[in-house]
Amino acid sequence: MENFNSASLHTIDYDRLNELYDGDNEQIASLFELFLDEVFPDFQEIEREIDQQNWAEVAKTAHKMLPWVGMVGLTALEGKLRSIEAQAKTDRNPEEIKLAWNQFKLGLDKATPLIREELARLTS
């Protein structure tokens, strides 16, 4: 697998994927597919909750999504989502949370096509 700089918000951390799945491309492809089809739409829920300043739900949904972000190798985004969860639990500064969310969303929007490309490569 190719190496990418995992510090970037919009790359797949292949070291993490190899660590988790020991190079099992079938399992990685399956998780990419689940993430795109079933998990990805849930990110809209977080955005709605942020807009409504429903911090308990923001924290709960972010916590629920955290493992998925890590399982598909979006390591840098995992840290950003963890920060959103923590801010929603303690700080609750709407401007800071929206800024963090927008950074997360930008990274996710850039990473999603990479996941789709990698899924296509793994399943071809």
pTM flag (> 0.75): yes
Amino acid making up residue 47: E
Q: Please report whether residue 2 resides in a domain.
A: no
Interior CA angle at 53 toward 49 and 58, to 5°? 45
Number of CB atoms found within 10 A of residue 12's CB: 23
Range of the domain at 32: 14-123
Structure tokens at 95: 């401007």
| pLDDT (mean) for 98-122 | 93
Q: Please report whether residue 27 resides in a domain.
A: yes
CATH label of the domain that carries residue 31: 1.20.120
Q: What is the radius of gyration, based on Cα positions, of the chain?
A: 15
Distance CA 8, CA 52 (A): 29
Q: Please report whether residue 57 resides in a domain.
A: yes
Number of domains forming the structure of the chain: 1
Q: Please report whether residue 114 resides in a domain.
A: yes
Give the per-residue pLDDT at 7: 41
In this predicted model, what pLDDT tens digit does every residue of 39-53 receive, in sequence order?
A: 888 898 999 999 999
Q: Is the pLDDT of residue 6 over 70?
A: no
Question: Of all helices (H) and strands (E), which one includes residue 31?
Answer: helix 25-34
| pLDDT (mean) for 46-67 | 94
Q: Please report whether residue 95 resides in a domain.
A: yes
